Structure 1
């Protein structure tokens, strides 16, 4: 079982607790302004949408929202909570969408479950489904180590410089790179948040 599959099984087997946790706050509402400012269009793919907190923010803005997640129970909750959005089951490493389908890709605290060796191909998938000049937002745990947490979920950490390099290699122009210490975001971890455009 690879890291993503193992992480999915942890989310699925404890879905009620994770749904309750992730429905508490929309990160898009709290930190989405740089993404919204850069966005040119309304078609948004929410990658790793979980139970739909951010998708709900996008739908409330009038965006054309599609959510993707690898965990079926999260999608069940998302469909209930955000009836105006579409949702699909799938792995972000192999997006089930046509080229140029979206104006924005939002990958909030989801790309961090992808192993380092799969990052270039995953970012290339994001670039593929984005229209010319499309906008990507991603947030990742900051650091340079990887491993499983106490729940058994896999996390890959990245430095800001490493994220920049990965994005450039995948054909993106990072326009906004921000780091946040754990205290700033009421978290146990520091974060890297990036907005980038298809170059």
Structure 2
């Protein structure tokens, strides 16, 4: 969190292109006006895209400074909440978690996935992205990443009660401009 607190304006102002292909696939699975939680919205780039698609967006971030930067971009309030504080119950139709849950400590990820599951209505959808790896660690900016394998991630989602779990792998990059192997997860929230 220290990195985002100290670098919020520069991080939010960077020329980041939203992942339009994944966003389009996500949006195509939702009803018009669906309630979507943009979990860890960062600078609000994807929230703006989702808003323009006519969805009812609730953006949130764990960093107060990033939340304020996102508010300036999208023109609406951004909730400040950490993943471990999520208490919503069946409020959303979908969750967009682009490169955010990858910061949850490995030991805490199963509980966070249960909390996110609980925030969705039955049949709700999640789209989440993780940097692939075999063990947790920090990048050159000091940011923590859980660096999961696809198998470990599948197990975490199954344990938390998700169904129809699909994990796609792709090469790309990130803020650090390093080549990155990404794991893109889609899953559904079953009824409790």
Does the alignment reach a TM-score above 0.5? yes
1:31–1:173 Cα change, 3 Å: same
Mapping of residues 24-173 of structure 1, within 5 Å: 24-27=16-19, 29-40=20-31, 42-83=34-75, 85-97=76-88, 99-173=89-163
Secondary structure of the equivalent of 2:78?
Answer: strand
Q: CA deviation at 1:24?
A: 2.1
2:4 aligned residue: 11
1:5 aligned residue: none
Q: CA deviation at 1:25?
A: 1.4
Q: CA deviation at 1:136?
A: 0.5
Give the paired residue count: 186
- 5+ residue gaps, structure 1, are 1-7
Superposed CA deviations along residues 60-92 of structure 1, whole A, max 9, x for unmatched, are 011000111011121111111112x44100101
Distance 1:67 1:42 in 2: 14
**Would you tell me which structure has more helix in proportion to its own residues?**
1
1:160–1:174 Cα change, 3 Å: farther
Distance 2:61 2:128 in 1: 15
TM value normalised by structure 2: 0.90
- 5+ residue gaps, structure 2, are none
Distance 1:130 1:102 in 2: 5
Secondary structure of the equivalent of 2:96?
Answer: strand
**Does the CA contact (< 8 Å) of 1:34 and 1:195 recur in 2?**
no
Distance 1:187 1:193 in 2: 18
